[in-house]
Chain A
């Protein structure tokens, strides 16, 4: 089981959290001007990164708030967590998602 650092509550066990998919997927600003290919990108296409993945989690059985995390999907090691709306943190080794 993962130990996840909620940026509001501190470290908590994985059971308190819900995974919420890839982070920083922005909804198209002007829906009526959005093409089917752009909708496909927004709705369905995902990076599915093998390596450092920026993703959303929700502390659903705690503070209930969404936040973002950087996690290495080859080790499940969390590199950083940060609040929604904050920019993606710069990692000490310079790794990028």
Chain B
């Protein structure tokens, strides 16, 4: 792996940017691996990287049916935060946030992590009470979060409208200063590059069509569009298509897949200095380094695999954005798109063993998986390498639904589900 630094950038600049080479190998699948990750998004690539770097399992392959980072990794709004209510969730998401903080250095690749602060607005008395409960719960768990008055919120985010005469006035906000954004493509590419350097094979255009089990029922091989690959340790990180992939092994999951949409505006000068979210009126907004406003909408009502949704969902979000930020009313939106998110009944993820020995799953991230990318990969790798969960993901099993130990962030996550 070629080590990147300010010096390499300078050298390439003087060389007319002609010296850049592909950052990972294009390889054909080998007949056998020690570990296979199905799904080449950020989560799957991170899992492969940590399998190789922390557990020494370098004979690993990542199988991706399209191109890496082309699913939800390339379709989300790149918001990173860890201000979740329950102890289990706070530990899980803060584990990821701590990995984000050093990720560019660890991968030697600039993932453009920008802890610019995530501000969640409160519009009603109930919102205020919920936000303050979150703040106290977070601080008890060592996660930073603080209460801002409307004036303080406006000082932190000047274009915000705090007039009291709007339909949903801003009564205050909860601010997590360590939260922020990162560059989604760089996360996939950085993990792919670092994993490849450790010997991991990244195989694109390779769709899994079957999961083969031996006489005892354990994982034996993976049937793909590029042939049979033998492997006794398989992790599935397939987001919206997880039900389909695990269905190949006869495993049923408590998941439903919904379209989630996002959109970006034309690029403008820096105007939104932080991430602003409002769970009550289903809007969240930040500004990319290119200058586009990145706006996330809610999910469509029905299950679907189409990677698109209805316009009325976006227009609902935009009407909220226009009221909170009147200055944006005449901005033009350039693109909108959808991704398919897999949602669990309690809105918390699953990182666990499955009933099939040798088959592991990382799924159920719903509308908020990007923020967890390093953490979920780290924990899936641990679970696969040791065949037992890390203490942080031990509560996030499939069996919690049978046993009644739900981690019910459904109302608590304060995001537009």
Contacts and interface: CB of A to CB of B under 8 A. Distances in A.
A8 interface: no
A65 to B, nearest CB: 17
Given A45-B254, A50-B241, A55 B402 contact: no
Contacts of A32: none
A50 B401 contact: no
B312 A73 contact: no
Given A74-B306, A76-B306, A46 B255 contact: yes
B1 interface: no
A40 B401 contact: yes
Contact of B303 (A37, A41, A55): A55
B159 interface: no
Contacts of B403: 36
Nearest to B303: A73
Contacts of B402: 36-37, 39-40
Interface in A3-58: 14-15, 17-19, 21, 36-37, 39-41, 43-50, 53, 55
Contact of B310 (A2, A36, A41): A2
Nearest to B255: A48
Contacts of A21: 256
A9 B201 CA distance: 56
B311 interface: yes
B312 A19 contact: no
Contacts of B303: 19, 48-49, 53, 55, 73
B53 interface: no
A1 interface: yes
Contacts of A71: 302
B337 interface: no
A44 B401 contact: yes
A48 B310 contact: no
Contacts of A15: 312
Given A1-B310, A37-B402, A44 B304 contact: no
A72 to B, nearest CB: 9
Given A14-B310, A17-B301, A48-B256, 18 more contacts: A1-B310, A1-B311, A1-B312, A2-B310, A14-B312, A19-B302, A36-B403, A40-B402, A45-B253, A46-B256, A47-B243, A47-B252, A48-B243, A48-B253, A50-B244, A53-B303, A73-B257, A76-B304
- A-B pairs, top 8 by smallest CB distance, nearest first, are A48-B243, A44-B254, A19-B301, A40-B402, A19-B302, A44-B401, A1-B310, A45-B252
